[in-house]
Amino acid sequence: MRTCLLFCLTFAISFAGRAEPVPDAAKVLNETFWESADYLAAGDPNPYEIDHRQQFAAVLGREDLIQAEIDFWTRTQPGGVCGEGLGDPVQTLTGAANSTQIVILNENHMIPLHRADPLGLIDALIDAGYRYYAYESFADSIMNRGGRPIGPQDVFYSADPAHARLLAQLESRGVTLVAYESSDHPDGREAAQAQRLKERVFDTAPQAKLIIVPGHDHVFEHVEGWAGQMMARRLKALTGIDPLTISQTACVSATGAPVLTQTLAKEDGTTAQISETDFALGHPPMTFTNNRPDWRRSLGDQDVAIPARFTGLDVPVIIEARRLEIDEQGRPVQSRGPTLPLDRVLLLPGETGIPLLLPAGHYRIEAFDRNGPVGPPEEIVVAPAAPGEHAPPADHSD
């Protein structure tokens, strides 16, 4: 069953349900990175299975290496190609969100775009009064940090730079982050998730407006049978609130633009109504330039050459870029914001020419293999792009 992936079983239930940070979270994260690197280096991944090694290919900046899996779990399973569009996705969905208090937008854990505020929808929902954000793998510790920056002990998928950026944006806008993952319920995980959401949001703030981002089938609302027991349907029953449910995994867009739909296009030319959720939000198939996803560039990230001494090595290397701030004396200092990187990319043995993707700013570039750092870090400056265009690749390879 797609909703109970290996990652959820091995990490979310044992980790995200705890009330305190996990002391070895950074160690677990590092081990997961290298398990994924070994899996990707071996080549020929199996598209018919999903586990953390595939999901973390995306966290390592290498969606290009899992295209068969992404294609299988979006285009082939469960639906296919999206049907006719219903107008501007953000305007339509924010309009629909005004008549409810709960918006549930699912994700494929292999696709960072799904959790990176797709199309600016989450930002628009905040403008519309949504001030609570619940994410599937939040640990309870994310709610009790006392000013501490978000780290891997708080949400495993915040190790994904795209998600880390979103969480920083949410906190800057005063959004409350809500942990709801748990297996502590006699009726199982779905019931526990719904119960926690009710208790932690609506029992204390009955008029709250809540965004929930789960994986895959937890978003199912309008179905019977096993799928009718998913979190969205259970939460609806517990709260009496009819949620706006949106699937990003039901279909892909047949055009070069995202499409909001309520139908699927069948191979025989007919259409079928989407039965599990209110809407499907289909994104175009991903495209890549120099092994990195073009959707990142469309949001303003620029290609930045990795220092040459970190590339073309005979072992896998992970490159990370963390933003630096400039103090009153003009010196670069570590940012006071989230300590997670703004980009990360895995280089397999011998690989060169694969860039980092970064917005303008001052950065510390670090590289490490499974034994530790690969030489000292290097500081770089990425200049702002000219209005209306992307800046040429910044070359820091010397």
- Which pLDDT tens digit goes with each residue over 164-190? 889 989 999 999 999 998 877 778 899
The dihedral over CA atoms of 179, 96, 298, 158, expressed in degrees to the nearest 10, equals 0
Q: Is 370 exposed, middle or buried (0-12, 13-18, 19+ CB in 10 A)?
A: middle
**pLDDT digits over 185-223, tens only?**
778 899 999 999 999 999 999 999 999 999 888 999 987
In the block, tokens 């003009």 appear at 330
Q: What does DSSP say about strands 102-105 and 244-247: parallel, antiparallel, or unpaired?
A: parallel
Confidence of residue 30 (pLDDT cuts 50, 70, 90): confident
The per-residue pLDDT for range 342-396, each reduced to its tens digit, is 999 999 999 999 999 999 999 999 999 999 999 999 999 999 887 655 544 444 4
Which residue is it, tokens 């910044």?
394
- Angle at which helices 189-197 and 231-239 cross, to 10°: 40
pLDDT score at 124: 97
Q: What angle do CA 61, 62, 64 make, to 5 degrees?
A: 140
Six-digit token string for 339:
């300590």
Give residue-wise pLDDT tens across range 259-310.
Answer: 999 999 887 778 889 989 999 999 998 899 999 999 999 989 999 999 999 9
Mean residue pLDDT of the chain comes to 84
> DSSP readout, 132-199?
EEEETTB-GGGG--TTPPP-TTTBGGGGSHHHHHHHHHHHHTTPEEEE-----STT-HHHHHHHHHII
3-state secondary structure of 255: coil
Q: 281 pairs with which residues across the strands? A: 260
- State which H helix or E strand residue 48 sits in: none
Residues in Cβ contact with 372 at an 8 Å cutoff, skipping those fewer than 6 apart = none
Tell me how far apart the alpha carbons of residues 256 and 222 are, in angstroms, rounded to a whole number: 29
CA angle 326, 332, 338 (to 5 degrees): 80
**Would you state the pLDDT for residue 18?**
35
Is the alpha carbon torsion for 249, 252, 257, 260 positive or negative? negative
Coil/strand/helix, residue 59? helix
Rounded to whole angstroms, the Cα distance separating 241 from 199 reads 14
Q: What is the dihedral of CA 31, 36, 170, 137, to 10 degrees?
A: -70
pTM for the full predicted model: 0.86
Continuous segment of H or E residues that includes residue 274? none
Whole-number pLDDT of residue 31: 86
Encode pLDDT of 306-347 as tens digits: 999 999 999 999 999 998 876 666 665 665 544 678 999 999
Other CB atoms within a 10 A radius of the CB of residue 25 amount to: 20
**How confident is the model at residue 155, as a pLDDT?**
77
Rounded-to-integer distance, Cα 118 and Cα 122, Å: 7
Q: Check residue 253 and give left, alpha or beta (phi > 0: left; psi -120 to 50: alpha).
A: beta
Averaged pLDDT, 231-246 = 96
In this prediction, residues 25-53 reach a mean pLDDT of 79
Helix (H, G, I), strand (E, B) or coil at 344: strand
CB-CB contact of 253 with 282 (8 Å): yes
